[in-house]
Amino acid sequence: MPEVVLADGDDASGLASMMGTLLAQNVERAPHKFEDFRRVESDVLIEVPDLGETITLSFVGDRCTVHNGSRGRPRVRIRADSETLMGLSMVHIGRLGLPNYFDEPGRAVLRAMRTGKLRIGGMHHLQTLNRVTRLFSVA
């Protein structure tokens, strides 16, 4: 069973705590996401400038450790304002397991990329990016 741990415990930032809880509950309610969880096997950085917060999700096997700040060498780096970050979780996953960028939530993400509200580093690690998108999708 995948496990999500806050590296900083009670000192975890609000963003770390929220994203950690969201990830844990999302995987718990959708066991088909277990495989994605296990296969990320890398660090993912999330930076939210309007909150002044950065967190790193370190996926190793069945465990994801959420750190305050930047850690390790993230394979994927997501920089988005808080509203856009919530919007990313609204992306629907299509029949082939790929994010759907053709409906309204998907188009909103593309607009955010065009306008610079969303920047993604490491886009060539498409599988990792798609796995992370699926893990956080609540749609």
Q: Using CB under 8 A as the criterion, which residues of the chain lie in contact with another protein when the complex forms?
A: 13-15, 17-18, 21-22, 25-26, 29, 48, 50-51, 53, 82-83, 86, 89-90, 138-139
For residues 64 and 23, is the Cβ–Cβ distance under 8 A?
yes
Closer residue to another protein in complex, CB, 126/138: 138
Find the Cα–Cα–Cα–Cα dihedral 28, 31, 32, 37, rounded to 10°. Answer: 50
Give the nearest distance from C-beta 110 to another protein in angstroms: 19
Give the nearest distance from C-beta 71 to another protein in angstroms: 19
- How many whole angstroms from its chain centre is CA 100? 16
Closer residue to another protein in complex, CB, 36/53: 53
Residue holding tokens 């994605």? 36
Closer residue to another protein in complex, CB, 85/129: 85
Continuous segment of H or E residues that includes residue 24: helix 14-29
Give the nearest distance from C-beta 39 to another protein in angstroms: 21
Residue type, 87: G
